[in-house]
Every structure is written in structure tokens, then in C-alpha cells.
Homo-oligomer: A and B are copies of this chain.
Amino acid sequence: MDRIEECISFQLGKAYQQITRRAREALAMHGITPVQYATLCVLWERDGLSCADLCARLILDSATMTGIVDRLETAGCVERRRGPDGDRRLSRVYLTASGNTLREPLQAAMDAMNREIDAHLGQAAGAVRRALTAIGASSREAT
């Protein structure tokens, strides 16, 4: 394990870097970043989630989530609402009309990219997906 290029942690990081770069380019014309897309994705599936819900789903720190929602709100894609009735600590995140309009083009772009990666992997795609999911889940419950 002398050369850094032979470390699986390095290989994983560079693969991630490359995919992120391509996603950034694919989404740039809409002014959305990859992480912002992931956040919108969860909201398209179920609107009005709290920041804590989004953090759990996207496996992100609450400090990171605050900034992401801040920028999505500034961009006019979502808005925070703190219900005067419910728990006033919670700030629920709701899609705006603009946020919903982005769904079709963004999902089309990202689906195309993900399909391309799968095609690139060929028969190994299933094994790679299982391996990545296993690594991602490993010892997260042990924390």
C-alpha cells in the first residue's frame, strides 16, 4: 500500500470527486448544486419536512443543512414556515412554485447521468451499488 493511488479510500474519493464535478456541470444551468438537488429530491417526494427530517434522510449535519436551506430559500426554490400551532422549534421546509418547476429538467439531467454511470459499470453495477451502500452504512449505527 505504498502509493496513495492504490488505497481504496483515495480511489473512492476521486470517483466521488469526478461524479460530483459532472453533476455540478449538469445542474449549473439551473443554478442548483448537487447537494441542493438532493435536498429538492427529498422534498419532491414529501413536501414540508423539517430540517431534522432532511438531515436524517440526507445524512448531513444540521449546521450544513442550515446553509443549504438558506441558499435554496434565497434562490426562491423553498421557503421556511414555523407553524404558530405546532412545535415552534421546528421550521418546516416547503417547495415554492419555482421549486416544483425545476423537478422535471433536474431529474431528467440527473437520471441521465446516473444511468450513464450504471451503463459504464456494466455487469459490475449491482455489486458496486451493494458495496457502496454497505460502506456507507458501516458503523454509522455504532456511533
Contacts and interface: CB of A to CB of B under 8 A. Distances in A.
Interface of A: 1-4, 7-20, 22-23, 34, 38, 41-42, 45, 57-59, 107, 110-111, 113-115, 117-118, 120-121, 124-125, 127-140
B9 A34 contact: yes
A131 B135 contact: no
B136 A15 contact: yes
Nearest to A122: B131
Contacts of A57: 4
Tell me what chain A mostly uses at the interface: helix, strand, loop, or mixed.
helix
Contacts of A8: 114, 117-118, 125, 128-129, 132
A113 B129 CA distance: 21
10 contacts: A1-B110, A4-B58, A7-B110, A8-B125, A8-B128, A12-B132, A14-B132, A15-B132, A120-B134, A128-B131
